[in-house]
Structure 1
Amino acid sequence: MELSDDGMFIKEFGVILHYITLFIAVFYYSKYKEYSFYKYFLFYFLVIVIVDLLNNYFYTEGNNINLYNIYTFFEFNAIVLIYYHLIQQKTRLIIVKALAIAFNLVYILSFIFDYYILYTIPLEGVVNSIFVILYLVELLNSDGILNYKKMFPFWMSVSFLIFYLTSVPFWSLYYSSIFNTRAMFPIIYYLGTSYQLIFIYGLITCKKMGKLY
């Protein structure tokens, strides 16, 4: 089933936002360069843009599964590195490491046992959401909560949580074949557009701060 005109528009708009978000992130690099996590945030969006370009010029629809499987690895581990450098409490860092190892193990097994592929993307959404929640809990219990609206890591985390947590039921239903048509894909495109607009808002409006918290 083909996408509606609205679905195609939001998909193409989301792709354009990838480039805009990366450009803005690079433009504001001097404001955030002292944050050790920021280079991994840039890497995260650079990977997205590279995959977009490869998909547009070297792959056809339905023939890009391997490309997106590889993308999942870099996407996930970029998120790991972001929150490994944001989270400070030792127990939470141990949780981050353990979840990163567990997911990467499942990811590797998905190339050996095909049915594992059904779990990687929904599992990635769950694990990434846990990383975000661990950071937000830490922020909530720190002095940084007084200035959270001025902190880009807060808006970045809100954006990630909206996208990854709400995408879990979508991908779970899709890979379980409860629905497997492209008619539902505008849902994920709207989520992708929303999370990038939050990134852009945070990058532009947040202030340079000496310490995160």
Structure 2
Amino acid sequence: MFEFLRSYIIYMALLSGTIGLFALPKLPSNKAKFLVLLIWFSIVIEIIGYYFTEWTGLLNFYVYNFYMLASLSAYILLLRALLTKKDHRISAILFLILFIVSFFLNILYFKEDINRSYTYSFAIGVLVVLILSCLYLIEIFNSEKILNFKKSVFFWYILGILVFHVPFTPFMLAINWFLIKQDDSIFSLVLFILNFLAHSCFIIGFIWSEKKYNY
């Protein structure tokens, strides 16, 4: 019933990515521009994932597992760049190593059946991003940035990441742990709603943020 909604996700990404391009003049730092790059990277992945089976005859788990590794690693590195305390930045590097190791352990564990989502690695990566995001917010709330945090594109981008990944992770784990049959209609609806919320946060950040808070 809702399967068609999944095809509209790329249009939301195209909208936020295009608005991000127009917002580039007020994204002065490389890490601010990196946010736009990440959105366009997701668009490329969506296109490749859509046609991957048709092009190769293989299931597209390869594409989305790679995207999981690349995107969550990028989020961790982004948060490390945003964190100011030395111990928090060191923790980010250690967490990144933990996530990458878990990913390759996942490959070894399922080496006889690689046509599956690496749900456990995804959950570890999301947990790491959640922890680092909390550290980032704590640093903001304990500094002068609290006065203008809503004018920073980084705040809205991190919020968008959390809005998508935090609800989606238990949904995926429920399917995996309790062997719930994946209903494509429900799955597409959940993906659509969470992507809508995430890209809404990205768009608000690009429009509402101010250049002097985007360094």
Please state which band the TM-score falls in when normalised by the shorter chain.
0.7 to 0.9
Q: SS where residue 180 of structure 1 aligns?
A: coil
What is the CA deviation profile of residues 104-149 of structure 1, one whole-angstrom value per residue up to 9, with x for unaligned ones?
0011112211189340122222122122111111111110100112
What letter matches 1:199 in structure 2?
F
Q: CA RMSD, aligned part only? A: 2.2
Tell whether 2:85 aligns with 1:84. no
Tell whether 2:36 aligns with 1:46. no
Tell whether 2:187 aligns with 1:190. no
2:160–2:198 Cα contact (<8 Å) kept:
yes
Q: Quick one: higher RCO (CA 8 Å, sep 6+), 1 or 2?
A: 2
| TM-score normalized with structure 2 length | 0.87
Q: Distance in 1 between matches of 2:169 and 2:86?
A: 28
1:22–1:46 Cα contact (<8 Å) kept:
yes
- Taking a change above 3 Å as real, the CA distance of residues 177 and 183 of structure 1, as seen in their structure-2 partners, is farther
Which stretch has the larger CA shift, 114-123 or 63-72? 114-123
- Taking a change above 3 Å as real, the CA distance of residues 188 and 58 of structure 1, as seen in their structure-2 partners, is closer
Gaps of 5+ in 2: 112-116
| TM-score normalized with structure 1 length | 0.88
Tell whether 2:31 aligns with 1:29. no
- Taking a change above 3 Å as real, the CA distance of residues 80 and 118 of structure 1, as seen in their structure-2 partners, is closer
Given the alignment, which residue of 65, 69, 73 partners 2:69? 73
- Taking a change above 3 Å as real, the CA distance of residues 78 and 23 of structure 1, as seen in their structure-2 partners, is same
* Matched length: 206
Q: Distance in 1 between matches of 2:175 and 2:197?
A: 21
Which stretch has the larger CA shift, 197-206 or 182-191? 182-191
Given the alignment, which residue of 106, 109, 116 partners 1:110? 106
Which stretch has the larger CA shift, 108-117 or 75-84? 108-117
Q: Distance in 2 between matches of 1:33 and 1:174?
A: 42
- Taking a change above 3 Å as real, the CA distance of residues 111 and 211 of structure 1, as seen in their structure-2 partners, is closer
Task: Summarize the alignment of residues 9-20 of structure 1 with structure 2, pairs less than 5 Å apart.
Answer: 9=5, 11-20=6-15
Gaps of 5+ in 1: none
What is the CA deviation profile of residues 42-79 of structure 1, one whole-angstrom value per residue up to 9, with x for unaligned ones?
33212211111112233259810111111111111211
What letter matches 2:94 in structure 1?
A
1:40–1:78 Cα contact (<8 Å) kept:
no
Task: Give the CA deviation at 1:177.
Answer: 4.2
Q: What corresponds to 2:163 in structure 1? A: 162
- Percent identity between the two aligned chains: 22
Q: SS where residue 44 of structure 1 aligns?
A: helix
